[in-house]
Structures are given as C-alpha cells and as structure tokens.
Chain A
Amino acid sequence: MIEPAVLERLKDIVGSEFATDDPEVCIAYSRDLATYLKFGKYRSPDCVVLPSTTSEVQNIVAVARQFKTPLIPLGSGINVASAHIPRKGGIIMDLRRMNNILEIDEEAVTATLQPHVTIARMSTELQRKGFFIPVPGAPSTVTVGSNYTHGNTNKASLRFGFQYSHIVSVEMVLPDGSLLRTGSWADAFSGDRSWPRGPGPDLTLLPRYALGLHGIVTGITIKAHPLDDICLPIWAAFEHVEDATPAFVEMVHREICTGSSLYGGFKYNSYSADTAECAWRQSRIHPEFILALTIQGSKRRVAFEEKVVRELTDKNNGRIITDRLPFYQMFVDTHMAMSASLYSEFAFKYWASPGAGPSFLGPSSMDKIIPCFKAMTNLASEDEAFGDVDWGNWEFNRSMIAYPDQGGHFAIIEGGIAAHPTDPKAIKAYKRYVPKLIKALADIGVSPDQSRANTRPGEFGISPEYLELAEKFRHALDEVGIMNPGVISPLIYR
C-alpha cells in the first residue's frame, strides 16, 4: 500500500493520469521471464509513475526519499533476472515517456538520447545517417538507459569491446535527488560538443551494472561508428564439438570477427525452423555444431578475415554453410555487429518453435567448452526425457551456446532445454535435469549459479572485498536505502 500523501505528491509532479496505485496497473509490473521460470516471485509495486523530464525524476526521488519509499527505475523490463521486480514494494518509475533521440552529432559520431529510446530506434536513426553501434545480446526492444549500462556480456565483440565502453557521458539523478552529469557534459569548456571523454574523476560508469541502485540514468551519449564497407555473416558447421571448439578458440585468440559464438546444432535448427515439425526434421538432418561469425570492416579486412575463417574451418574438418543461414540478408542489411546478435537480431524467431525452455548461464575457461557439451550429451543419454544422443527428440532437446568473454580469457556457456516453455512436462523434466547437470559441471570445474539457474550471475570472479566496498559505496550514495532495495549489484538477492 502506498501512503495517500505519496501518491498525491506524485500526481502533482507528473499529472494525475500518469501516477496510479490501481492494482490493475501495478500487476503489469510484477512478473518477468525469471519469475515465469519460477526463479523469482510475482511482486507488484505499490504504485507506478511515468515521468517525462529529468526534473520530474528529481522531484519523484525527493518524494521517495522524504517518505522512505522504495523506488525502482524501469526500462523495458527485459533483463530476464527480475532486477526490476520490486522486492519491497514501493514505486516503479517507468521511464517510457522519456524516449526522445535528442541529438545525433555527425561530426563527433555520437548519439545523445533519453533513457527509454530502444536500441532498435537508435540503430535505425544512426544507420540513416551512415553510422552504427554494436548491438547488444538482447532483443532490440531494450532501452539504451538500461542496456548500455547493464548489458553485461555483449557477446564477444572483440573488435568493438563491451557495450559500456561506448558510453561517452551520462546524466543521472542520484539517490539524493542531485543531478550528476559526466563526460563532456561535465566539461565547462566543451560547449555542446560531446566528445570522449570528459574530465576526471570520471563517474561515467557509475550506473554500470548498478541495477538502479546508484541512481536513475536520464540521459546518455553514446559513441557510434561509421558504417563499415562490408558486414559479412559467415557460419561454419562441424560434426563434432572436438572439431568446432579448436577452430572457435583459435579465431577468438586471433581476434578476428566482430562476433563469434559456438552453437549446438539444435539452436541453429530452432532458429531456422518455422514449425515444430520442421525443427524436428532439421535436427535429424543436421546434428552439428555451428560457429556463428560476423566479419565486418573494410574490403581488405573482410577478405583477410574470411580467408582465415575458411582456413581454420577447413583445418578442423568443418564446412561453410552461410548460404543456409536463415536471416542472412537481414544481417547484412541491418549491419549486425555480431553474430550472437541472433538474440537481438532484428527479425528472427528467438523463441521459434519449439521454443527455448529453461536455461542456465555459467562462466568457464575456454578449455571447458568440450567437457561441458559432453556432460550435457552424457546426461541426455542417461535421461530419456532428453531424447536420444542423436538429438532426435525435439521436445526436450538440450541446447548450448558458448561465447568468449573478457577478451577471450573466458567462455560463457549458456545451456538450456529447448522445449516449449509453456509445456509443463518440460519444466518438470528441467527440475530433474538441472541438479544433475550442476553436479556434472561442477565435476569438471564449471559452476553455474545454482540458486538462480538461468538468472545472470553478474560479472563473475568478483572478490568479496570488492563487493563489500561496492555495498559501502552504495550506502554512501543512498543512505536511506530507497533505490531498488533488496537487490544489490551485481544481482545478489537479499
């Protein structure tokens, strides 16, 4: 329940039509993918407010502070980890109305945006002007305010680095209501120009992976790139993981391709198939591993990297299958910066039949890729729910993706059971399967987060000392504890 005085104040700030505590409105903010998969609980906020300006955001923060009411900023709500699901009630600040592209500076090659501009919109506008940005590993419906600061893995764009490294400046309302403007916005002499970077100390990454705890991003300037001459998706297929992995690792270590990921064949099938029947047939015909790669750059660069890809594919008994790539032209047209943007790609059936079922995510070293795939295969052969080893039973097919992280030192391995997520049988089977899988992976030194399975463990390898300091820092910024209480960065639930 929200105090009536709080709601009244919020209505005064944004107008009565944009603040409400009606349960029929609040309930729409109570669930996300993680809750559906039963890794979180449905929790409605006590009220919802839709600000349209930075000063409205500041005023809302002031109200939340005065009444010690939890406040949770919301982008698109697609973080798949319940980061925005209110743990202690309070106010959801849906930033939907702050959705203007403020400026595209063609000289500085930057875009300045309000937080709720979606990646798709920003990308389209940039491309119209001859620029592009490396897109995240997420649906292109996510917002820049959140995705640029929270997009975590940015799947292996070795050339462009992580997404957050493209942030030039941010405007942020801090938990005490004050306005932080970083980067060139903090430079008294820079005028209107947004150029990387601003004066120090640089607080530009303050919101990074902070899940709203350090304040609310109300504006962001992002560095873009001129469109490359060529954007060439190229896929290589291998019969055995033992062949695919060395090719993959060598490509990563040679730092070629703007994007690279290794997929179990089933993923490929489900992406390209239109129907369950079709997926089933394809999985019969193509029980293979796919290296999904994108080469991008000048003609010479693309020619060089393509040659290397072909040589390494050949050397490791693979073959190029780009002509079978279902969305080939779309990749080219939309200048996709990375192959793993299969997730965020602009027209594809992420949850195509038979759909992606529950999954987990785990960090590992690159040399654990083969044992991981094998562990899954072995488990599948032991448990009839997961079909035979030929992956013939599409209903409960296991799937797996590996992609390099941290400059190729680690691999992130995503595993899943590809079954329709509404199929209760799949959920049941998953519950039986996961503990076995966790144990099998632990035996080979890979530790997916056991408590939350599919939810993102944040950046792995964080020392407890760092976490303690981060918590102290958070407390210094928000001693009242209003910002997204119950969640601490990186995604550790309390």
Chain B
Amino acid sequence: MAQRKKYAFPANRESLEDYYDMTLSCYKCGYCKYVWPSRIQHDKFTGQCPSGEKYQFESYYASGRMEVVRGIIEGHLKWTDRLNHILYTCTMCGACDESCGQVERVYPTDVILEARRTAVKEGQILPGHQQLAKSVSKHHNLYESDHADRNNWAKGLADVKSRSKIIYFAGCTTESLKPSIAKSTSKLLKSLGVEFGILPDGWCCGMPLFDTGQTDDGVKTLKHNIEQIRDTGAETVIFSDAWCYKAFRDSKDYGIELGFKVLHLTEFLAPYLAKGKLKFDRGTNETVTYQDPCYLSRYFEVYEQPRDLIKSVKGVTLKEMYRSRRESFCCGAAGGVKFQFPEVTEHASSTRIDEAKHAGLSKIVTACPSCQISLEDASKDNGMEIYDIAEYLSEGLKKTKK
C-alpha cells in the first residue's frame, strides 16, 4: 500500500477504543469485497476477501468486521468462539485496505489487528497461535524444528559471518520446510559474485506473532534478529520470505529503527537484471503465471521486479491470472490463519489454483515459501506446478552456465 492517509481522529491510536471512529466510518460501500470494478477481468473471479469468500456472512468481510469490532468496543459482544473465528480467519491479505484506501480509508487490517491485540491482552489466544509462540520461544522457529539445524541448508553455499555488508535472512519457514529456496537464493547471489553472510543465530522473524496479536513476543524475536544483524555491520539484508520481509519493514511500527536496508531478493536482483548481468535459460519454452505474495506486493508495492525477472528467462512467457497485482487473490496462508484455521488456507489456495486452471495455466511462480507451500498443498491432484522464484531462476542459471 502506498502512503496511508488517515483523516480521522485521533491521529495516534493506542487502544482499540481509539479505532472506534474508523469502525464507524465504514459506509458499507462494499468495494473491499471485490476486485476494483474497472479492473475486473473475469466475472467468475471477482472476490477479494479469502475469509468472506469462504464463509459468506457479512462478518467475514472487512465491512462486517468493522461492525464486529464496534460491537466489542461498545461492549455488545463478548469473547466467544465465533468472535475469535471472525477475527482470526482474516488472512491480513490487505485486499480490503487497497480498495478502501481508494474510497473511505478505513484501513480494515489496522482495526482487525488491534482487535487481535486486545483479544490477546484479554487472554484470548487460540491454541494454534499459543503453540506458535511456544515454538518460537523454545525453538526459535514456527515448526518446532531443532534450532541447531537451522543453517543445515547452507553447507557449501553460504557462511556464517561475523562481519558482512550483506546478510541473507532465509527465515524459519524456508529453513525448516523449504531449504531449496535458501540454496537457490545463495546460488543466485553467488552467480553475481555477491559477498554475503548468514546469521549465526537467526530466529523466527516474528511475523505470525505480530499477525496474531502477540506483539510482545514478536518484538522480542524481531529485536534479537536485528541485534544479530547489527553486530555484523550489515548495510543490506536480503529476504526470500515475504513474511520476514514485512516483519522487518514494519519495524518502525514497533518503535525500532533498523539502520540497514531491507530488500526482497527480487528487489536486490532487479538492478543486476537491468544492467544485463543476469541471464536465465531453463532450456524450455513455457508459459507461467505469478502469484503475488500479499506481504510483498500489496503492502510494499513490489509488483514489477519479480515479473521482470520471470520474463527475462529465455523462452518463458508470463501470463497473468484474472486477478493480479493489486487485485491478486491471497493464497490464504498469512495472518496466522494457517496455524489455526487451515481450512481457510485450503479454500483460498484451491480457489487460486482453479483460477490458474481456468486461465489455461499449469505453472505458478511465487516469491514466498508460505505461498508456495499452500499452493502446492492445493495442487496435489491436479498437476499444477508451483515454484518459488529463487528456485525457478536458479535452475535457469544452471542451464546458462552449461
């Protein structure tokens, strides 16, 4: 999202009550539910809100959630399973913010997030989210993986460095579940002769904790990483995981000045591509599509760099799905949703796979391990191939070198 402009009072919001006027200023215009009207490409694919599309009741759309939050503030609603379900099935994809930003500027995700923080303060932590926090506190990752194994992927590809101008932060999802992304990223960086290091003791970035309202825990783990990075004297940190990228980019919201530059891998590679220093050839002619990770695209407007990189691969044609860029449909993984309500993730990612199939596509490239995993899970029986952009490009690198 570009610059956020709020004209409502008060300017500084610190508690849920401070968001009261935001909930009231929702006019029920409904723009947050759909692809922005002038950009509709196909009438079957016009929904924008993953949770609304699944549950259909107004409460599961941003506009309805504004009423639910009003109900909490006014004391009409007590904490119940349904209330938590409504609050925590939002994937924080930001599609509603994007549309509402063009009409009323309620910025629903801000309101929903504050409601989640309030829920946590009042002891309402859902089991899946509690588990997250436990795992992060004990293992420093989301998946209860052995912390000692975190840099296993790096053997022969990347080194822990005490001083380095560039740090690659792979993140715990990649380290635990998708090490191939980290390997591919390292290969790409090496092919450009980039000198980089990895952290000796990197922890989870904290994003799912922030998303689930467990802000203090999130700040703790984020701060640990920032200190580690500062110790290396790094000027730039590269991310291949959109969640981690967002956690660091949002650090100002938690009063933290980073003192180094935060770049997604695709942002880092873009200037090299522009200068002709990157050439890819996967040895095949094929058409692929691109899934925008919400935390990279809608939140930080990284739309073109991944596309330019994909288009630069010899013989590859990039075809957009009906909903793309600002109108992209979330894979359903974010917002802490997949840890508590995986059925929402499943619904969103299968909807997305259906869309790709409907558009005659069979290969999807994305730029975040979580998007990759959820789309893969929805593709088990339908032959859709899902790639992370680092893998997709680095495979092209191999062929070029031959």
Contact = CB atoms under 8 A, between A and B. Distances in A.
Interface in A105-138: 118, 120-125
A33 interface: yes
B7 A353 contact: yes
B279 to A, nearest CB: 37
A31 interface: yes
A226 interface: no
Given A120-B37, A120-B46, A125-B43, A28 B68 contact: yes
Contacts of B67: 27-28, 30-31
A36 B24 contact: yes
Contacts of A424: 9
B93 to A, nearest CB: 18
Interface string B299-330: 00000000000000000000000000000000
Most buried by B among A24, A32, A118: A24
Interface in B40-80: 40-41, 43, 46, 55-59, 63-65, 67-68, 70-71, 76-77, 80
Given A50-B57, A121-B46, A24 B27 contact: no
Interface stretch (B28-36, B132-140, B346-354): B28-36
A351 B37 contact: no
Given A24-B77, A347-B102, A422-B7, 20 more contacts: A23-B77, A24-B83, A25-B58, A28-B57, A29-B58, A36-B27, A118-B46, A120-B40, A120-B46, A121-B46, A141-B33, A142-B30, A333-B38, A346-B36, A347-B38, A349-B103, A350-B103, A351-B105, A422-B9, A422-B25
Contacts of A139: 29-31
B74 to A, nearest CB: 9
Interface string A15-58: 00110101111011111110010000000000010100000000
A10 to B, nearest CB: 13
Contacts of B76: 23, 27
- For the complex of A and B, 3 pairs with smallest distance between CB atoms: A28-B64, A141-B30, A346-B38
Contacts of B70: 27, 31
B55 to A, nearest CB: 8
Given A24-B86, A25-B82, A120-B37, A96 B29 contact: no
Q: How large is the interface on A (under 10, 10 to 19, 20 to 34, 35 or more residues)?
A: 35 or more
Contact of B8 (A22, A97, A333, A422): A422
Interface string B1-39: 000010111000000000001101101111101101111
Interface of B: 5, 7-9, 21-22, 24-25, 27-31, 33-34, 36-41, 43, 46, 55-59, 63-65, 67-68, 70-71, 76-77, 80, 82-83, 86, 102-105
A149 interface: no
Contacts of B28: 31-33, 76-78
A355 B77 CA distance: 30
B57 A78 contact: no
A482 to B, nearest CB: 22
B25 A421 contact: yes
B91 to A, nearest CB: 18
B37 A94 contact: no
Most buried by A among B37, B46, B103: B37
A389 interface: no
Contacts of A347: 36-39, 102
A50 B60 CA distance: 13
Given A24-B80, A36-B24, A347-B38, A48 B43 contact: no
A22 B31 CA distance: 25
B21 A118 contact: no
A112 to B, nearest CB: 14
Contacts of B31: 139, 141
Given A141-B31, A141-B37, A334-B38, A28 B5 contact: no
A468 interface: no
Contacts of B58: 25, 28-29, 48, 77, 94
B44 to A, nearest CB: 9
A148 to B, nearest CB: 17
Most buried by B among A20, A23, A122, A333: A23
Contacts of B22: 422
A350 B71 contact: no
Contact of A346 (B37, B71, B104, B105): B37
A354 interface: yes
Interface in A331-368: 333-334, 346-351, 353-355
A386 to B, nearest CB: 18
Contacts of B65: 28
A141 B34 contact: yes
A267 to B, nearest CB: 16
6 contacts: A27-B59, A27-B70, A28-B67, A94-B57, A334-B38, A422-B9
Contacts of A141: 29-31, 33-34, 37
A275 to B, nearest CB: 7
A152 to B, nearest CB: 18
A354 B7 contact: yes
Contacts of A330: 38
A351 B27 contact: yes
Contacts of A32: 27-28
A355 B104 CA distance: 8
Contacts of A125: 43
A192 interface: no
A434 interface: no
Contact of A27 (B38, B56, B68): B68
A31 B41 CA distance: 32
Most buried by A among B39, B67, B80: B67
A140 B102 CA distance: 14
